[in-house]
Amino acid sequence: MRVAHSRSELRTQLLDTRGSGSDIGFVPTMGALHAGHLSLVRAARDQCETVVMSIFVNPLQFGPGEDFGAYPRREQDDVEAAEAQGVDVAFLPSVEEVHPPGRTTSIDVGELASVLEGEFRPGHFAGVATVVMTLFDLVQPDKAFFGQKDAQQLAVIRRMVRDLAVPVEIVGCPTVREEDGLALSSRNAYLSATERKRAMVLFRALTAGKDRLLEGAEVEEAEGAMWSVLSSVDGVQAEYARAVDPDTFRAPSRERVLLVVAARVGPARLIDNLLVERDE
Ligand code: PAF
């Protein structure tokens, strides 16, 4: 595996790949790699000849008072995990390599970025869209792989790629869960053993919502069921429990409903989602 730290190193290391016409699969990450990230690498490996992974904690997507400083950074372990998984090029740039000092340009995808996560984390999706677009420009991948765990992020990136005619295919990959249902997230590292148990409530809430929908309930009832589960555990501060359309994050059709939840558990702010498909 080759490691690039600067734009020019990355360009040099991808020259051969581009010259030989081999297709590039890109897995953007903020590091602290877990089995969810590694499943993205496997998908990229299966579908593309060359796999590039970026490991970059992007300051633009953290608001004031959020966990930019505390976000787990494990460069050495990440590089080893990426190599073992078959990544060809790891890109670990500094902030200045990605965001030139004084940068004023940013990407706003509109309403989709201002609801739910966007409401609780103003500016977050502009930060995500801006860094992802910048990384796309640097890597020029054929396909890019994102986890469905961050469903609204995935929708924002798909929208950006469509609206700006970016020549990249976006591949959404299934959420990887622990046995008890907790979705893997780098932020799970913040949880104590007690908080880790409490965090299972997110998946329990989603399952309650799904059960209600499959029994034929209206989305409002499913939202109510999720909210009561989510807010029933001491030490868990529920933020939202909603049923939305998976592409627009507006009111869903009866057939395809994305259930989304967010809650604070101790120092961690966790999100999760479940897609429910119904006949008729
Ligand atoms: O999902 C993430 O880890 C980040 O939001 C991403 C897509 C790498 C952009 O910084």
What pLDDT sits at residue 202?
A: 98
Q: Give the residue from 35, 11, 14 showing the smallest Cα distance to 25.
A: 14
Distance in Å, CA 129 to ligand 1 centroid: 9
Q: What is the SS3 string spanning the chain? A: CEEECCHHHHHHHHHHHHHCCCCEEEEEECCCCCHHHHHHHHHHHHHCCEEEEEECCCHHHCCCCCCCCCCCCCHHHHHHHHHHHCCCEEECCCHHHHCCCCCCCCCCCCHHHCCCHHHHCCCHHHHHHHHHHHHHHHHCCCEEEEEHHHHHHHHHHHHHHHHCCCCCEEEEECCCECCCCCECCHHHHHCCHHHHHHCCHHHHHHHHHHHHHHCCCCHHHHHHHHHHHHCCCCCEEEEEEEEECCCCCCCCCCCEEEEEEEEEECCEEEEEEEEEECCC
In 3D, which of 120, 270, 132 has the Cα closest to residue 205? 270
> Across residues 17-22, what is the average pLDDT?
86
pLDDT tens figures, 126-167: 999 999 999 999 999 999 999 999 999 999 999 999 999 999
Report the chain's C-alpha Rg in angstroms: 19
Contacts of 32 (CB under 8 A, 6+ apart): 71, 72, 73, 74, 78, 186, 189
Residues contacting residue 195 through CB under 8 Å, at least 6 positions apart: 235, 265, 266, 268
Query: So what's the pLDDT on residue 280?
Result: 67
pLDDT of residue 81: 98
pLDDT at residue 98 tops 70: yes
Report the pocket of ligand 1 as residue ranges, CB < 6 Å.
28-30, 58, 61, 128, 131-132, 150, 153
Query: Which residue has the CA at smallest separation from atom 6 of ligand 1?
Result: 29
Mean pLDDT, rounded, for 243-267 = 97
Residue 19 confidence class, pLDDT cut points 50, 70, 90 = confident
- Residue-wise pLDDT for 167-196, tens only, equals 999 999 999 999 999 999 999 999 999 999
Residue 268 confidence (pLDDT) above 70? yes
The residue contributing the CA closest to ligand 1 atom 5 is 128
Residue 142 has which token pair?
Answer: 């054929």
Pocket test for ligand 1, best of 55, 57, 150 (most atoms within 8 A of CB): 150
For residues 104-112, give the mean pLDDT. 97
Q: Whose structure tokens read 């953007």?
A: 28
Q: Does 14 score more than 70 pLDDT?
A: yes
Please state, in angstroms and rounded to a whole number, the distance separating the CA atoms of residues 271 and 106. Answer: 25
Q: How far is the CA of 21 from the centre of ligand 1 (A)?
A: 27
Cα angle, residue 236 at apex, residues 259 and 213 outer, rounded to 5°? 20
- The separation between the first and the last C-alpha atoms of the chain, rounded to the nearest angstrom, is 49
Mean per-residue pLDDT of the chain: 97
Tokens of 145: 């792989």
- From 5, 34, 37, 124, the catalytic residue: 37
What are the tokens at 216? 């034929």
Measured over the CA atoms of residue 32, residue 34, residue 38 and residue 40, the dihedral's sign is: negative
Q: Which of 10-19, 33-42, 79-88, 119-128 has the lowest mean pLDDT?
A: 10-19
Catalytic residue at 124? Answer: no
How far is the centre of ligand 1, averaged over its atoms, from the C-alpha of 33 (Å)?
Answer: 12
| Cα 3 to middle of ligand 1, angstroms | 19
pLDDT at 24: 98
d(CA 155, CA 159): 6
